Structures are given as structure tokens and as C-alpha cells.
Amino acid sequence: MKKKLFIATLVSYLGIYITMPVLSAISTKAHMIPSQIGIMISLGAAAMLLFAPIWGKMSDVFGRRIVMIIGLLGMGIFFILYVILFHMSIASSKAVPLFFYGLMGTRFLLGIFMTTTPTAANAYMADISTTKDRAKDMSSLGFATGLAMVLGPIIGGLISTSGNLYLPFYTTIVLLLLFTVIMTVILPKRQASINETHVSDKKETGSKKFFSVKLLSWLLVGCSVMFVVVGLQLLTSLYLHDNIGQTVVQSAKTSSLLFVILGVTLMLTQILQIKVLNFSARKMMLVGIPLLVLGLLVITVASAFWMLVVSYILIGAGAAFGMSSLSAGASLVVSQDQQGAVAGTVAMTQAIAGIVSPLFGSFIYQINIKLPFLFFAAFAVLTYLFFLANNSKRANTLS
């Protein structure tokens, strides 16, 4: 069952990342200006923010299987509408407000379903994992996310070399609809649960309240990780151009290479965690944030490409521990019947980062090109200290 959850998470995130390399280009051909493209993407993140906790709660009520299937199907359907609107807008000789607003609305509707399957999969993994194995099992879903971050842009980039910007979208649609059918068949209709197989774990977690300072500490420190991962997607090419002196074309290519390095490091670190280290959720966060902060500080003093490579390796390792730790740790501080709700809340923090980090990061970058990296590092340190204050070793013997 755990392998099926891994596949569902991987396919869902591939549905996002395969189209990312061509999204700006095809939007420009559809007569959208950069600010409109930014608003469109932010609307998708806003939908993720609003609906992730709702989907999590729905998976608690109606079951993980049906929510996972709805997520894949919903993404497939709205990607079809997305492509239709792109075709119509590009076919017109000038910008048409109806198509522009249609693309905006479709991106919002698409965003509603973007975190649906991963949210339900995380909750399902919590259902079938013991507290002892929770961190390791959650790391496997983090590995799926990292794998999608690396493979998605590569697949999309290779497909788009044919010159057809629609091909990544067609590939995504086929992938999502195909796996909607596959998951409908292979996911068990009767959901396995820790409630049935690990009664002692239920007794340990059943009395926990949902909202607590401890949960807040996990969410804040996890949000600091996502701020970095999301912010770097926007800032890397700009920083290469302004600080290292690369041309626009060179910075775009180098930025892609750095993100491949980050993604590969993220994957390798998660494999190491699953196969060798088997850190607790708390220990992963304790290790991850210092690595993340160190990587950010190296960026601010980088004067050569090799220093940036070192920084992105550090950030990739830190993000791997932090992302996996967040899902596992948050799931351990609530009761067993609230796993869907907490998975949705975790996804909500990712959406918050998707909205705030690019907007705020780009704003303070205009003040000083090193300021965003210093801010992300300072925010990570502050949330880390708050996390330490509310997650003592004695209080986290089960995490």
C-alpha cells in the first residue's frame, strides 16, 4: 500500500512540474504580460491555500481513496480546459479579456485539486504507519515530491524541444487520467488503518487536541523551509545575473542546473533517511534547518559558481529533512482521526509559501539583492528557536 501512495503522490506532482518549463512561454504567446502570468500562478497557489485543509477534512469523513481519485481526475479535467483556452487565446490576433479571465479562473480551479491527492496520501500514510515508522514512511512521500521536482521539468523540457508547447500539457493530461483509472482499480475500497492494526498507537494519540502550540511550532518551521524552496525558484536566475555577472540566457541555463542539483540532493538525502539514518521527525528538523540556513548564508557570500553549487547542495539536504519532518511531526501531535485535517493544514503552509515567498522575496530583492536570502535565513532561525522551545527531547520521545 505504501508503494501505491508513493506513486499517487509522484503522479500528482508530476502533473504540476511537467508543464512548468513551458508555462511562461505559452502564456506569453497567449498575449499575457509577465504581471498577469504572475497573478495567474498566484491564484493557483491561493486555491491550494483555501482548499487543502478542506480536502484533508473530507478525507477524514469520506475516506482517503475517493479524495485521491477526485484529485487526479480534477487536475486532468481542468488541464484539458486550460489547453482549450490557451488554443483559443493564441489563435486570436490580440489579447481577449474573456480568454484572459478564463485562464485565470481555470488556474484557480486547477489549484483546488493540486494538493488533493498528496494531502490524502499523507493522511493515508499516517493511518497505516506506526509512530516508530512514521518519519521513515513520510520520507518516502517526500522522496516522491523531490523526484517529481527533478523529473517533471526534465520531461517537460525534453518534450517541448519538438517546438510544440502543448505537448507537456497533453502528456500531463494523459498521465493524470490514466492514473485516475489505475488508482481506482488498485487502491483498496476498504481502507487499512492504524486504528485496526495498531491499537496501542491509537491509545497513545487518541487524546491529543488538534490546535496546539506544538503543532504551530511544526507548521511555522516547516513554512520556513517552503519559503526557501519556493523563493529560490524566482530569485536564482536574477541573482546569477546581478551578482555573478551572467547574461540572461546564461543565468536561465545555470538556474536550471542548480535546481537539478538541489532536487537530486533532496532525493538522495531522503533515500539516505529511509534506508540508513531513520531519524525521528524531531531529529530531521533539528538537522535540516541548520543545513538550510548555512546554505542561504553561503549564497550571500558566493562569488563563484562552485560556491553556489555547495549552497544548493546544503539547501537540498536541509529541505529534504525539513519537508519530510514536517509531515511526520505534525501527524504525531494530533489524534489518529485528525490525520486528514493535519495533512491539509501542512499543505496549506506550502500554499502560503507559494503566495508570500515570491511576492515578498521579489520586493525586498529590489532593495538589496542579498536581503531575501538573509530574511529567509533569519525567519528559519526564529522558527527553529520557537520549535526547540516547544519540542523538548523529553516531550518528543514518540516522534
Express each pLDDT in 46-87 by its tens digit.
888 888 888 888 988 888 899 999 999 999 999 999 999 999
pLDDT one-digit tens code per residue, 206-220: 445 666 888 899 999
Task: Return the CATH fold of 1-187.
Answer: Growth Hormone; Chain: A; (1.20.1250)
Ramachandran bin of 29, using left for φ above 0, alpha for ψ from -120 to 50, beta for the remaining angles = alpha
341 pLDDT exceeds 80?
Answer: no
Residue 274 near residue 391, CB atoms below 8 Å: no
Q: Which residue has the cell 539514518?
A: 277
Least confident piece of the model among 173-187, 261-275, 345-359: 345-359
Same fold for the pair 1-187 and 208-390: yes
The confidence score (pLDDT) of residue 254 equals: 80
Residue 198 pLDDT level (bands cut at 50, 70, 90): very low
Among the ranges 17-21, 97-101, 374-378, 395-399, which has the highest mean pLDDT value? 374-378
Q: What is the pLDDT of residues 295-332, one digit of tens each?
A: 999 999 988 889 999 999 999 999 989 987 888 888 88
208-390: CATH number: 1.20.1250.20
Q: What is the pLDDT of residue 196?
A: 44
pLDDT at 395 over 70: no
Average pLDDT over residues 362-376: 89
Better-predicted residue by pLDDT, 324 or 374: 374
Q: Identify the band that residue 184 occupies on the pLDDT scale cut at 50, 70 and 90.
A: very high
Say which amino acid occupies 277. Answer: L
Q: Which of 11-25, 72-86, 384-398 has the lowest mean pLDDT?
A: 384-398
Cell 485528525, located at residue: 338
Structure letter (DSSP) for residue 88: H
Residue 389 pLDDT > 80: yes
Whole-number CA gyration radius for the chain: 21
Give the C-alpha distances (Å, rounded to integers) separating 246 from 102, 232, 256, 345.
37, 17, 14, 40
For the residues 384-396, what does the mean pLDDT come to? 79
Mean per-residue pLDDT, 374-380: 95
Q: What is the pLDDT of residue 193?
A: 56
Structural domain boundaries of the chain?
1-187, 208-390
pLDDT band (50, 70, 90) for residue 235:
confident
Tell me which of 204 and 215 has the higher pLDDT.
Answer: 215
Higher pLDDT, 96 or 385: 385
Q: Which of 85-99, 332-346, 374-388 has the lowest mean pLDDT?
A: 332-346
Q: Could you tell me which residue, 145 or 172, shows the higher pLDDT? A: 172
Dihedral of the alpha carbons of 70, 144, 43, 21, in degrees to the nearest 10: -120
Q: Give the total residue count for the chain.
A: 399
225 and 380 Cβ atoms separated by less than 8 Å: yes
Is residue 252's pLDDT more than 70?
Answer: no
What local confidence, expressed as pLDDT, does residue 143 receive?
75
Mean pLDDT of 78-98: 90
pLDDT of 197 over the 70 cut = no
CA distance 89 to 91: 5
